[in-house]
Amino acid sequence: MVTFMFRGRFPPPDDWIGIERRSEEPVDRRAFVSVTAAALSAGPLVPRYVDPALIGYFQEQLEGHYRADMLLGPHDLIGTVSAQYELIDRLVRAAKGETRSGLLKVGAAYAALVGWLYQDAGDLGAAAFWRGMTQEVAMRSRDAQLIGYWLVNQAQVRTDLGDGGGELSTCARPPWKPLGRWHRRSG
């Protein structure tokens, strides 16, 4: 499984507060805000013109982030990718029509990447939060492939959390039955 391929290859920075270091503590407000702030920016925006070329720009940036993840590891990219997600979210709320739809799709991909980065860094709580954000944006985009992609990602987090069966109930309903069968075969 890809989830475990790079784990441990990149040691966390000294100031990184991973899941092992905070497992005994109650919810740390600063850690919570650092994980969720980019996804929970508040307030409606005034509709304005948003250039459709931004969709291609963000897609190119996303490809670069995947390459950088292989070279740097997750710790150095979480802040950058989540900040870009925040910008995409603001643009989605301002855009209209096809531009809005395209930005929703690329926004779901960014949220999924942030979730993967947290998962690869070993922070499963933050990973689960961002998988939820991926779901929310994928559902808003109404793109069946993105919704299926979210289900696969959510199943990976659930497996890492020791709750692989937790996603089987979701994946067993049409139109996701083939995904449920795949997940059962994969353990």
pLDDT in tens, 60-105: 999 999 999 888 889 889 999 999 999 999 899 889 899 999 999 9
Q: How confident is the model at residue 4 (pLDDT cuts 50, 70, 90)?
A: very low
Q: Measured between alpha carbons, how far is residue 174 from residues 149, 163, 186 in Å?
A: 15, 21, 19
CA distance 83 to 87: 6
pLDDT tens-digit map of 133-187: 888 888 888 888 878 877 877 777 777 667 666 555 555 555 555 555 544 555 4
CA distance 44 to 60: 27
